[in-house]
Structure 1
Amino acid sequence: MRIGLRILLGTFLVVAAAALLLTQVFVAEVKPGVRQTMEDTLVDMANVLAELATDDLLAGRIGDGDFARRVRAMAERDPGAEIWGFPKRDTSTRVTITDARGIVVFDSEGRDLGADHSRWNDVLRTLRGEYGARSTLADPADPNSSVMHVAAPIRDDAGAVVGALTVSRPNRAIAPFVERSQAIVTRWGIALLALALVVGLATAAWLGGQLGRLRRYAQAVTAGERVPLPRTAGEFAELGAALETMRERLEGRQYVEDYVQALTHEMKSPLAAIRASAELLERPLPAADQAQFAATIRGQSERLAAMIDRMLALAAVEHRRRIDAPQRLAVTALLQQVAHDLAPKLQARALGLSLPADGDATVSGDAFLLRQALANLVDNAADFAPAGSTIETRLETTGRHVAIHVADRGPGIPDYARERVFERFYSLPRPDGQRSSGLGLTFVAEVATLHGGGIRLAPRDVGGTVATLSLPRA
């Protein structure tokens, strides 16, 4: 599982568990909280009514006195109220009064007159001088039929408890408020879950994007591609910088080792030729032989100098990661400059160079490096082209790229060498038996990669080889 999905799952599970727990707690607390509020209200109401009923109870007219008439009138009243969107059309309140023995002497609904309530908690505890209340199911088969009963004592002038007044109200009266509160809490819980999912997705996407850039960068570096360090934020930027530093140090160490080994190997042959010629020149030799060995020393020295120059140029390109200040360059103009620079060599070998007609093909990059790369291609073609032939250059625009073709009519490249010609120091013998430094095509490949392009060699149907340098259009 990807780290982004793991983070998303972990974040969502934690927040979901917290939201579920909070929702359950709030939902579970809504009903008791509302009932506690209702009980508090009933306590106040019971005590007020107990004071109002005292005179009638002591006078023996509790069943038909002023108190009884007022209570019955209250039961018939229509409050005409609307409480937080819920209409209230009745008081939903029952009032019962028992004497000191717990016998019902008044019932606003007239159902339990004469009944013995002395064993009900509300009456029993109140007659003892304690707080009395109970909640009882009106219908044992209906769990939602509970009724709350709260009692208050009725005292005589001496303070003795002579009765108990109970105010009863069904819990169904507060059910709409409880249900709405629970629904609101549940909706907020669902909203919190949705928010957790959105935040988790955003966090996972951000982390996945940051890590994905670094992963693709590491994979590209592993594949040998020259890619810039991706833009990241925060600790990921620090991690990217650390990866870049590590890559540079590792590449630098390996680069030096490879170059020292390759250079040592390539320098053995010219140095051996110089040493042998120098040893022979120490002996008495005819003038012709002396001139020949001196020419050998001079030729091998020039070969070493050219090799070192090309290595320095190649090293400079290999260590670059991007073009700092790219220019918009006309390809035809670059080829014309190359033709001017190589004119002496081409004339010396009786070679022609055909240039494409003026076109509008342009590329973006470093003018010096691209000119050097094209010069290497033309110079390489000149080494293999037979005297009197023409090196052909052609431009082809395809989609977002410009393809520059350089073709010769030489012997072509053997199949076994086609995959190795871009390796450092690998070279094929020229028709005259000479070998190059083996760095020219490597340089071209590095320049092409630096510019986001590529280079390939292919045989021609008419004989020879065509080199195609592909570069992005400007």
Structure 2
Amino acid sequence: MRLGLRLLFAFFLINGIAAFFVLRVFTAEIKPSVREVMEDMMVDTANILAELASEEVASGRMSLAHLRSQDSTFARSVKRYATRPVDVSIWGLSKQSLDYRIYVVDATGHVIFDSEGRAEGMDYSRWRDVALTLRGQYGARASRDIAEDDTSGVMYVAAPILSQGRIIGALTVAKPTRTVQRFIERAERKVLNGGVLLLALSALVGIAITLWIVWHVRRLRDYALSVQAPSNSFGVAPAVPEVPGELGDLARAMEHMRERLEGRDYIEGYVRALTHELKSPVAAIRGAGELLHDDLPPEDRAQFASQVVEQSVRLQRLIDRLLELSKLEQRQHAEAAAPTSLRGCAEHAVAQCRARASQRGVQLALQGEGAAGPWEADLVTLAIGNLIDNAIDFSPEGGTVRVELQGASVTVSDEGPGVPEFALPRLGERFFTTARPDGARSGSGLGLAIVRRVLDLHGGDWQIGNLHPGFSIRLQFGR
């Protein structure tokens, strides 16, 4: 399973379990909490009514002997309450009836008043609310009117009727629990709807966080893959991704590791390539030197001496270009104090190569004006000069090397045999060369590597191709 799916699954699992238990607690606590509040209010109501009824119970106006009597002011008031019209809206829920049932018992537990008139004269002394209250304790109970119906429950709360500190009866207030069931169900619906909304928002947050983490991890993975890939020939290092926290620390650690590995690979590659390139001229110099010890005709001695000088020049040129490329590869960017004229750089490069071109019988032609930009003049001149040198090497005697300027681009073309198609993608690699058309020794393969690095430092690129006959390379410098 992919990392993103695992994170998302884990987030949903944890969030779902937490939401389940939280919602379960909420819904489980709503019903008892509402009933606890209702019981608290009924306690207050029962005690107030018990106080109002105490005088009439003590005087006998409310007793078994006067069950049908209308002398009790308390009884008349309660009956008027029971028939009182009401139509109110409580937080959006309509209430159109009064739900309290009130009954009064004497000291023996017999009902001497019932607001509904159905229990008067009956013995309630065994009911928990009456029995406990008459004994001076808190009396309350919950019973069902219909044993099989959960919604028919009624809550009863009693309060003692006192006279001179003595309990002479009890008053019970009863209220059906179904009257508050609507409020309970509405609260549960709100909690459940809120829970669903919370889960949906949590899902969105989870998806966003997962995508954020996976995005950073993938950037780090791509960087790791680029680090483990073979280093390119131009010394261009992959950019370290900007990732937060521990992932950022890991990215920086990988960058330090890459620098150390590339430094080692860089040295090893240079040593191998340099050893390979030095073998031929060193062997030629050694052979010529050994022969010069012999007694040779003046012509042969001159030939071998020329060979020593030629190979020494080759070695010197190789060393110089290696030093140039090494310095370039250690740099991270070009430095330009003022806008540089592309025309001026090209003129300087042509002037440097003109003597060598004349020796080879090659003409140099400079066309166009070019633009000015934030480039390092010495590096631009070096790149153009290397291209002209390469073009001279591949041009036939009497041929022309053309340098054309247009905007921020320089195009150098020759009239030689061109480059084999298979070799085009490898141009710019260190020490990669192609055969010269006159059969002369190949160059060091460092000229185009230097050009490529100069372009990288300036944020540029090149386009290369054969002209049939000839070869063309166009340098585009960044602006």
Shorter-chain TM-score above 0.5 = yes
Say if 2:219 is the partner of 1:204.
no
Output the CA distance in 1 between the equivalents of 2:339 and 2:190: 64
Say if 2:381 is the partner of 1:374.
no
Contact between 1:444 and 1:455, CA under 8 Å: does it hold in 2? no
Deviation at 1:312, TM superposition (A): 1.6
Match runs of 1:61-210 below 5 Å: 61-62=61-62, 63=67, 64=70, 65-77=72-84, 91-139=98-146, 142-155=149-162, 157=164, 159=166, 161-210=167-216
Contact between 1:148 and 1:169, CA under 8 Å: does it hold in 2? yes
Give 2:30's aligned residue: 30
Contact between 2:455 and 2:477, CA under 8 Å: does it hold in 1? no
Contact between 2:460 and 2:477, CA under 8 Å: does it hold in 1? yes
Contact between 1:364 and 1:472, CA under 8 Å: does it hold in 2? no
Structure 1 window deviating more from structure 2 (381-390 vs 96-105): it is 96-105
Contact between 2:86 and 2:97, CA under 8 Å: does it hold in 1? yes
Contact between 2:368 and 2:405, CA under 8 Å: does it hold in 1? no
Structure 1 window deviating more from structure 2 (329-338 vs 82-91): it is 82-91
Secondary structure at the aligned position of 1:167 is classed as strand
- Which residue identity is paired with 1:464? G
Contact between 1:395 and 1:404, CA under 8 Å: does it hold in 2? yes
- Which residue identity is paired with 1:392? R
Task: Identify if the C-alpha distance between structure 1 residues 158 and 21 changes in structure 2 by more than 3 Å, giving closer, same or farther.
Answer: closer
Secondary structure at the aligned position of 2:150 is classed as coil
Output the CA distance in 2 between the equivalents of 1:326 and 1:240: 34
Output the CA distance in 2 between the equivalents of 1:96 and 1:327: 104
Deviation at 1:316, TM superposition (A): 2.6
Structure 1 window deviating more from structure 2 (407-416 vs 436-445): it is 407-416
> What count of residue pairs does the alignment treat as equivalent?
466
Task: Identify if the C-alpha distance between structure 1 residues 376 and 433 changes in structure 2 by more than 3 Å, giving closer, same or farther.
Answer: same
- Which residue identity is paired with 2:35? R
- Which residue identity is paired with 2:441? Q
Say if 2:17 is the partner of 1:17.
yes
Residue of structure 2 aligned with 1:408, choices 411, 414, 432: 414
Say if 2:243 is the partner of 1:232.
yes
Task: Identify if the C-alpha distance between structure 1 residues 356 and 139 changes in structure 2 by more than 3 Å, giving closer, same or farther.
Answer: farther
Say if 2:321 is the partner of 1:310.
yes
- Which residue identity is paired with 1:246? M
Output the CA distance in 2 between the equivalents of 1:22 and 1:325: 65
Residue of structure 1 aligned with 2:472, choices 444, 466, 469: 466
Give 1:388's aligned residue: 398
Output the CA distance in 2 between the equivalents of 1:143 and 1:327: 92
Give 1:56's aligned residue: 56
Deviation at 1:369, TM superposition (A): 3.0
Task: Identify if the C-alpha distance between structure 1 residues 168 and 214 changes in structure 2 by more than 3 Å, giving closer, same or farther.
Answer: same
Structure 1 window deviating more from structure 2 (214-223 vs 305-314): it is 214-223
Structure 1 runs not aligned, ≥5 long: none
Deviation at 1:209, TM superposition (A): 3.8
Match runs of 1:233-382 below 5 Å: 233-323=244-334, 331-360=342-371, 365-382=375-392
Output the CA distance in 2 between the equivalents of 1:117 and 1:355: 123
Contact between 2:332 and 2:457, CA under 8 Å: does it hold in 1? yes
Task: Identify if the C-alpha distance between structure 1 residues 181 and 313 changes in structure 2 by more than 3 Å, giving closer, same or farther.
Answer: same
Q: TM-score, structure 1 length as denominator?
A: 0.85
Contact between 1:228 and 1:322, CA under 8 Å: does it hold in 2? no
Deviation at 1:115, TM superposition (A): 4.0
Say if 2:233 is the partner of 1:214.
no
Deviation at 1:89, TM superposition (A): 5.8
Structure 1 window deviating more from structure 2 (239-248 vs 125-134): it is 125-134
Contact between 2:369 and 2:406, CA under 8 Å: does it hold in 1? no
Deviation at 1:304, TM superposition (A): 0.9
Contact between 1:16 and 1:196, CA under 8 Å: does it hold in 2? no
Task: Identify if the C-alpha distance between structure 1 residues 420 and 38 changes in structure 2 by more than 3 Å, giving closer, same or farther.
Answer: closer
Structure 2 runs not aligned, ≥5 long: none
